[in-house]
Amino acid sequence: MTLPTLSFIAPTPGGAPGAGGGLAVLLLQVAGIGLVFYFFIIRPQAQARKQHETLLSGLKKGDDVTTSGGIIGRVKDIKDDRITIESGTSTLIVERARIVRIGDQTSAVEARKA
């Protein structure tokens, strides 16, 4: 009695003809996915972050601002990364990065949410 060969379970050592191109196709697919991530996720986030930093660099006393929490007020004092805002009869201290709008200029971070 002879045992049947199980070529469908364990392929022959030579491999199938033309199987060498599979690695090249896989590398092209991975590169394509990487490009999609770069152009649709990484690059737009970097541009939004740069625009937000540019917006905040022009912040000065007396500017009307809106925070990410929705507080609207006027800049009273600026110290490093802390901004003192006067809103109505209250005085608040917020982080500079939490300001999303100065006057009528909106940062890209806030514009994407709208």
To the question of pTM greater than 0.85 for the whole model, the response is no
- pLDDT tens for 91-108 read 999 999 999 999 877 766
**Residue 56's closest CA among 111, 9, 5, 103?**
103
- CA-to-CA distance for 92 and 84, rounded, in angstroms? 6
Confidence of residue 22 (pLDDT cuts 50, 70, 90): confident
pLDDT in tens, 56-83: 998 999 999 999 999 999 999 999 899 9
Fold assignment, 27-113: SH3 type barrels. (2.30.30)
Residue 43 amino acid letter: R
Model confidence pLDDT, tens digit, residues 27-53: 999 999 999 999 999 999 999 999 999
- The radius of gyration of the chain from alpha carbons, rounded to an integer in Å, stands at 29
Q: Say which residue the tokens 């200029």 belong to.
A: 105
Ordered by start, the domain boundaries in the chain are 27-113
Tokens of 92: 């608040």
Q: Are 83 and 67 contacting, i.e. CB atoms less than 8 angstroms apart?
A: no
